[in-house]
Amino acid sequence: MEVLMSTPNKRDLVIIGGGPAGYSAALYAARASLDTLVVEQGMPGGQIATSDMIDNYPGIEQCSGAELGQKMQSHAESAGAQSTYGSVQSLTRHESGFTITTDMDSIEAKSVIVATGATPRPGNFSGEETYRGRGVSYCATCDGMFYRGKHVFIIGGGNSAVEEALYLSNLADQVEIIVRRDVFRAPRGMVDRLSAKPNISIRYQTSITEVAGSTFINAITFRDNATGETHVESYDEGSVGVFVAVGHDPATSLVAGLAELGPDGGVLTDEHMGTTTPGLYCAGDMRSKSLRQVVTAAADGAIAATAAYHYIESLSA
């Protein structure tokens, strides 16, 4: 990824976030001959970069999230988009456009697409923050290697929890999925894949209410959601881990005051991904939407870039 350092940079379009929405937008914008810059704070691909396997993106039967993210970045850059690392600190609107302030630079833009995705939702159990990184994790691909041969619990009943369990089953000695209800939210086809893994088991109608220990976790408190009863299970310290996979919250702090939010915390947009601020578009998992997938994020990005192109053209009309 090329790092650009000129101060201030002036661009037609700045895209904040280098995930599927961001790089899809960058591809369409660059093909429309817009001077386009993507600002990404981590790996290309955003959240999908932490996924071990993507198998539901049309045309690509199987691909790691990191590989797909890199392909998206390369495709956009081959069309003329540019990329830079940086953590965006603020986004402001002024008469001539927008100012994007990062930890390294200040960038001026005629239009902005924000595609900052979503952040992992907490499990809301006692000790979660205390043992974050010391037995509590939110990313199997990132941290699974630390639990090779160990006993891991996965909290959640959706797609993410099933995917985490399947990945961790190849590393951990024992994998238990903690489902608070009596049924998974994930599609049956995904859940059926769990039965092929002899080291995966499921605890229905169960919640983890507390983790405790010394340097690492050595005790977990479980609640039976049907009866309300709780019990504590003890383990050798460092032999157990808890992975939280209960969904994500849209990352919308950058557009506070510039866009309206929906009931799910995501940004409300029109069909062109436009917000209440002219020239500002939002795309991907940060939007208020019913389905957050790679394919829907990529579609959002294409729509947002096309709308941004027409907006920028109207400024000189």
Which is nearest to 242 in space by CA: 159, 163, 161, 158?
Answer: 161
Query: What dihedral do alpha carbons 118, 17, 274, 24 form, nearest 10°?
Result: -110
* Cβ neighbourhood burial of 38 (10 Å; 0-12, 13-18, 19+): buried
Distance CA 222, CA 220 (A): 6
Catalytic residue among 55, 103, 142, 264: 142
Catalytic residue among 105, 143, 224, 249: 143
Token pair in block for residue 61: 């039967």
Active site residue 282: no
Distance CA 23, CA 298 (A): 8
Active site residue 105: no
- What angle (nearest 5°) sits at the alpha carbon of residue 27, between those of residues 73 and 40? 45
Distance CA 194, CA 175 (A): 10
* Cβ neighbourhood burial of 108 (10 Å; 0-12, 13-18, 19+): middle
Active site residue 139: yes
Distance CA 103, CA 153 (A): 37
- Do residues 169 and 197 touch, judged by C-beta distance below 8 A? yes
Catalytic residue among 52, 105, 139, 249: 139
The pair phi, psi for residue 154, each rounded to 5°, is -120, 125
Just list the catalytic residues.
139, 142-143
